[in-house]
Amino acid sequence: MATIIEGIGLNKQFGIGDAAVAAINSVDIQIEEGELVMIMGDSGCGKTTLISLLGCILTPDSGELKIDEQVIDPENQDLSVIRREKIGFVFQLFHLLPYLTALENVMVAMDITKTNTSESEKRAKELLTRVGLSERLDHRPAQLSGGEKQRVSFARALANRPKIIFADEPTANLDSRQSDNMMNLIQEIRQEQNTTIAIVTHHEGLKENADRVIHMKDGRIITS
Amino acid sequence: MNTLFLKDMRYRRTRVILTSVGITVLVSLILLLGGIMHGMRIQAQQYVKSTGADIWISAEGSGGAFIGFSLLIEENMAPLNTAPDLETGSVSPLIFAQARPLIRGKSTKAIVVGYMADKLGGPTGVVEGKMFKSSKFKDYRPEDPVPDEVIVDEKMGVQIGEQITIGTDTLKVVGKTKSLMFVLDTPLLFMDVRVAQKVLLGNYPRVNMMIAKSKPSTIPGKTDQAITIAANLDASDAIEARTVKQTLDDIIGYYVDEPMKAVQFLRVMLWLASGLLIGMITYVTMLEKTQEIGVLKAIGGSNQYVMSLLLKQVAIISVIGVSIGFCLSYIFAAAAPIFVAINFTESIIVAAISIIVCCGSGYLAARKAIAVDPMIAFRGEIDMGYTPQGETFAHSDA
């Protein structure tokens, strides 16, 4: 398997002087293509900061990051291009746009990449059908359950055929049944599309779904 | 999905409507104030132009025919009678003064115009009724009875046969003239110059000004004959002479521009207010949308993409607000109790500037908004722009 993402000696500090906090401390990480990785650890251990660095939302203070064999140079590269072309995000609180239907929320991701409307509508319908929401295309987020919103969010993350999807506590706001359904869906899609997925979670019960579990503590990876 | 910004506007329609209404009100006020001033200028000019005179003479030191206190005596008029460049017999005495006549027992603001019916200074005919009887201006004696008659503006609502009291004198309305209102719809009361002397000057044989018409130049192509004549007459120590252009400048400056300086200032303030209004509302909207903007950026939206969404909304709100304000100002102008003349070209310019001001302030607010940290998408709460120190993502996003 090829390495899809690689971080070497990643450091990230917030604040300065006495208030400085090393959120990520000399982290080396590799994620292989098609892998399903769980990143676990206590609150404040740096899990979200790590996927933010790997997902090009934050830039490291030092260290090197490679995505799909391309070295990321934050000083000279437009990171939004990497985010929209290679990365998909699923957020804990779904973050669907309240004024758009489920279909439109998925299409937004393709609007950003300037995909033409008919093509993006077709793909959005396919994805929503795949995640079991073919009957909910015209529903707004307020009309959807938590599990349904998270599935729309997952379909949006898949819209631009990303190399890797980062999911931040995707089941934290779902009940156990919805949580199981969501994990089953993630597994299915990963197998169908060979998508690499990294999930940040507190939920020990999800470990069994992972190919690999990365444990973090105080900004460091302690087991991988 | 190129209608994303429209869907957002529909979702936040209350705010969109309120912002547009705010801009509408401000723009229509700006245009109405401009229309009032333009209307005043038109009214200030129309009487002067209607006389047909191109030389206006007032007493030395008066500052102009309509500006300061001017009383001319016979000796002052001597140079005029001998001026070779004035049309024979065109020199006309004129009284032009504000008064507060009683009409149907009610005190009304009006301007008394005393002139000789067969000379320059007022209408030579009426649209209804008849002209006032003329007195003899030359060789008059104060004790001579004068024809107590007046003709009024057709829009005054005064009927022929009604009486108007000025001071202790009562005049009978005998005719109506084509409407020729002065500044702020002040009606003109036309009467014989002797009558005006009696009711306003205590029967003293004085006039405020003399007006005349210059002879056409004998030099082909020379069109500034009146300027030369006015300059020659002005050299006299007893009188001041002005061309019609100078007189119009005087009258507009005195009756419109000077008193309306505060209004001009108010117009500029209204522009600033409309820019501030849309800037503030856009900024507040941005704060409310911080998390949405963060999410759009997190899923790959560039700064330009987010900026274009915001600017399209600002542009649409501005155009809607300004367009409705533009149309409403014309409706309000038609219904206004005073003469309001909105200049079309000026109103187009005002509308364009208003859109630029609104879009400009919206752009400033949107620039602030796109600096939102996409990291906010990982947070549960809306963070009003907190960026951890040492962050460098912003400069990496185009």
pLDDT at A5 over 50: yes
Residue A107 has what pLDDT? 96
Examine residue A24 and state whether it is found in any structural domain, yes or no: no
CA distance B135 to B119: 12
Q: Does A201 touch chain B (CB under 8 A)?
A: no
How confident is the model over B284-322, as pLDDT tens digits? 777 777 888 888 999 999 999 999 998 999 899 999 999
Q: Which helix (H) or strand (E) holds B215?
A: none
Residue B1 has what pLDDT? 63
pLDDT at B388 over 50: no
Examine residue A25 and state whether it is found in any structural domain, yes or no: no
Interface test with B, best of A80, A90, A152 (most B CBs within 10 A): A80
Interface test with B, best of A58, A105, A199 (most B CBs within 10 A): A58
Q: Which helix (H) or strand (E) holds B146?
A: none
Where residue B393 falls among pLDDT bands split at 50, 70, 90?
A: very low
pLDDT at B23 over 80: yes
Residue pair B179/B152 in contact by the 8 Å Cβ criterion: no
3-state secondary structure of B376: helix
Cα angle for residues A129, A195, A160 (degrees, 5° grid): 60
pLDDT at A122 over 90: yes
Q: Which residues contact residue B287 at a Cβ distance below 8 angstroms, ignoring those fewer than 6 apart? A: B382, B384, B385
By Cβ distance, the residue of A89, A92, A99 closest to B8 is A99
Which is more confidently placed, B137 or B63? B63
pLDDT at B385 over 70: no
Average pLDDT over residues B368-394: 57
Residue B398 has what pLDDT? 53
Q: In residues, how long is chain A? A: 224
Q: Give the torsion sign (CA, B88, B91, B204, B237).
A: negative
pLDDT at B397 over 80: no
How confident is the model over B177-191, as pLDDT tens digits? 988 888 888 999 999
Q: A184: domain range?
A: 35-54+80-223
Please give the residue of chain B at the shortest CA–CA distance from A13.
B390
ipTM of the complex: 0.91
Q: Does A87 touch chain B (CB under 8 A)?
A: yes
How confident is the model over B88-112, as pLDDT tens digits? 778 888 999 889 999 998 999 999 9
Q: What is the mean pLDDT of chain A?
A: 90
Neighbours of B161 (CB within 10 A): 9
Q: Which residues contact residue A129 at a Cβ distance below 8 angstroms, ignoring those fewer than 6 apart? A: none
How confident is the model over B233-254, as pLDDT tens digits? 777 777 888 888 889 998 898 8
Where residue B74 falls among pLDDT bands split at 50, 70, 90?
A: low
CA distance A217 to A37: 17
By Cβ distance, the residue of B291, B305, B389 closest to A112 is B305
Q: B396 and A16: CB-CB below 8 Å?
A: no
Where residue A203 falls among pLDDT bands split at 50, 70, 90?
A: confident
By Cβ distance, the residue of A84, A95, A100 closest to B291 is A95
**Among the listed residues B233, B240, B235, the one whose alpha carbon sits nearest the alpha carbon of residue B79:** B233
Examine residue A192 and state whether it is found in any structural domain, yes or no: yes
Å from A69 to nearest chain B CA? 20
Average pLDDT over residues B75-82: 70
Q: B300 and A83: CB-CB below 8 Å?
A: yes
pLDDT at B395 over 70: no
Q: Domain total for chain A?
A: 1
Residue pair A155/A127 in contact by the 8 Å Cβ criterion: yes
Where residue B391 falls among pLDDT bands split at 50, 70, 90?
A: very low
CA distance B114 to B192: 5
Q: Assign residue A101 the CATH number of its domain.
A: 3.40.50.300
Whole-model pTM?
0.77
Examine residue A120 and state whether it is found in any structural domain, yes or no: yes
Examine residue A23 and state whether it is found in any structural domain, yes or no: no
| Tokens 């604040």, located at residue | A15
Q: B397 and A14: CB-CB below 8 Å?
A: no
pLDDT more than 70, % of chain B = 89
By Cβ distance, the residue of A14, A80, A168 closest to B378 is A168
* Paired tokens of A206: 């999800």
Count of CB contacts below 8 A, A vs B?
A: 113
Which is more confidently placed, B78 or A24? A24
Examine residue A30 and state whether it is found in any structural domain, yes or no: no
Å from A157 to nearest chain B CA? 8
pLDDT at A118 over 90: yes
3-state secondary structure of A26: strand
How confident is the model over B184-228, as pLDDT tens digits? 889 999 999 889 988 888 888 788 888 888 887 666 666 667 777
Cα Rg, chain A, nearest whole Å: 17
Where residue B165 falls among pLDDT bands split at 50, 70, 90?
A: very high
Which is more confidently placed, A18 or B321? B321
CA distance B229 to B224: 9
Please give the residue of chain A at the shortest CA–CA distance from B297.
A80
Interface of A with B in 17-76 (CB under 8 A): 48, 52, 55, 57-59, 61, 74-75
* Paired tokens of B193: 């110059």
How confident is the model over A137-151, as pLDDT tens digits? 999 999 999 889 999
**One-letter identity of residue B310:** L
How confident is the model over B332-370, as pLDDT tens digits? 999 998 899 999 998 999 889 888 888 888 888 888 888
Where residue B384 falls among pLDDT bands split at 50, 70, 90?
A: very low
* Paired tokens of A204: 């020990």
Give how far Cα B184 sits from Cα of B110, B151, B250, B256, Å. Answer: 10, 20, 17, 10
Q: Which helix (H) or strand (E) holds B273?
A: helix B261-288
Average pLDDT over residues A39-57: 91
Q: B7 and A87: CB-CB below 8 Å?
A: no
Average pLDDT over residues A64-88: 91
**One-letter identity of residue B374:** P
Residue pair B217/B229 in contact by the 8 Å Cβ criterion: no
Residue A179 has what pLDDT? 84
